[in-house]
Amino acid sequence: MLPLALLTTFLAAPPTKTVSLELVDAPITHALTLIAEVGDLQLVMGDDVKGTVTVSLVDVAWEDAFNAVLLTHGLVAVPVGELTVVKPAS
């Protein structure tokens, strides 16, 4: 059984928003923008964020979807104040 403090923290956590998305050969910038909208994320991407992505997601936590798209394209998300900048990892 969980300690009461841990259980209270767990129960108080807000539910994560989920995303369902079906894209075939979509520009990665569009996919990231759609996912970021679900998570209320203010996103900035430069011209070096390019490529296409195919995703088939049903009720996936938006953070997991966002990170999976980043990971598959060698990108990282860097917090800058209230914004998130997406750029190549290297």
Give the domain range for residue 33: 16-88
Bridge partner residues of 2 (DSSP): none
State how far the Cα of 37 lies from the Cα of 4, in Å rounded to an integer.
35
pLDDT tens across 21-67, in order? 999 999 999 999 999 999 999 999 999 999 999 999 999 999 999 99
State how far the Cα of 73 lies from the Cα of 53, in Å rounded to an integer.
9
Q: CB of 74 within 8 A of CB of 51? A: no
Q: Report if residue 69 sits inside a domain.
A: yes
Q: Report if residue 46 sits inside a domain.
A: yes
Number of structural domains in the chain: 1
CATH classification of the domain holding 42: 3.55.50.30
First to last CA, the chain: 44
The pTM of the full predicted model, rounded to 2 decimals, is 0.81
Collapse the DSSP code of 6 into the 3-class scheme (helix H, G, I; strand E, B; otherwise coil) and give the result: helix
- Residue 70, CA atoms < 13 Å, CB-side half-sphere: 22
Q: Report if residue 11 sits inside a domain.
A: no
Residue 80 has pLDDT above 90, yes or no: yes
